[in-house]
Amino acid sequence: MLRRYAKSLSIFQRSSLVEKSRQKPKENLLVLSDTLKTGKYDDDQMLKSCDIKTDSKFTQVKGRVLSDPKLKVGDMEDFFPRNEWWNFSTKKLVEPTRVNDQYLINILLKINGNLGGLNSMLTTEHGLNIPMISKAPAMMLGMDVSHGSPVQADVPSISVMVSSRQWSSISRYRACVRTLSPKFEMVVALFKRDSNTMDAGIIR
């Protein structure tokens, strides 16, 4: 007897569902085709009892491409996309508003860091006065593991590792985040050998 599954999905099931929903249509078509070939649904006794049959051919439906929406920007200027892109670089806004300077500064700091820039550095770092680090090549590492609340038993733990990237600068660093089994205290996958020359671990 078939019954509706009413229980909530685990965190791993939800993440897997989101990952599968991001697949492109061609990838979904290949997955469904392979599933029909290997699933042997026509031999399934439960499906037969429900008089459910599968067809190897997919249903075809007609579709159409919608035209681009018509927009108006500042000064009621007509705005059209070019090469499927909306370029606002030379356009005015219909109702511009004032933005807090600190908000823009925070965004620019993140952009500069993501592009490989350096926002600030320690005074002692600039003067090469850090004991044991400034004299010889060294790398600084920091690791931590955080867990979900006690009532969320299926929430994975999160391990984070930060390391300096360019001696003798310790302000230029890189962070890496990995998921662990719930309530797991040990940081794993520091090294994960894929081949003789490749490593997929956190430290590589």
Structure confidence at residue 42 (pLDDT):
80
Task: Say which DSSP state 150 is in.
Answer: T
In the prediction, which pLDDT does 204 show? Answer: 58
* pLDDT at residue 106, rounded to an integer: 93
- Is residue 184 scored above 60 in pLDDT? yes
Q: pLDDT tens digits for 20-54?
A: 788 888 888 888 888 888 888 888 888 888 888 88
Which tens digit of pLDDT belongs to each residue from 112-142?
A: 988 888 888 777 776 667 777 777 787 888 8
pLDDT at residue 1 above 60? no
Residue 169: pLDDT over 80 = no
State how far the alpha carbon of 143 is from the alpha carbons of 60, 67, 71, 154, in Å. Answer: 53, 51, 49, 23
Contacts with 180 (C-beta within 8 Å, 6 or more apart), sequence order: 145, 156, 157, 158, 159, 186, 187, 188
CA 46/CA 114 separation, integer angstroms: 53
**Statement: residue 65 has pLDDT above 60:** yes
Tokens of 33: 């085709």
Q: Are 168 and 128 in contact (CB under 8 A)?
A: yes
Of residues 115 and 16, more confidence is placed in: 115
171 pLDDT higher than 60: yes
Choice between 85 and 192, residue whose per-residue pLDDT is larger: 85
Q: What does the pLDDT look like over 66-110, one tens digit per residue? A: 888 888 988 898 988 887 788 888 888 888 888 888 999 999 999
pLDDT at 197 over 70: no
pLDDT at residue 108, rounded to an integer: 93
pLDDT of residue 2: 57
The overall average pLDDT reported for the chain is 80
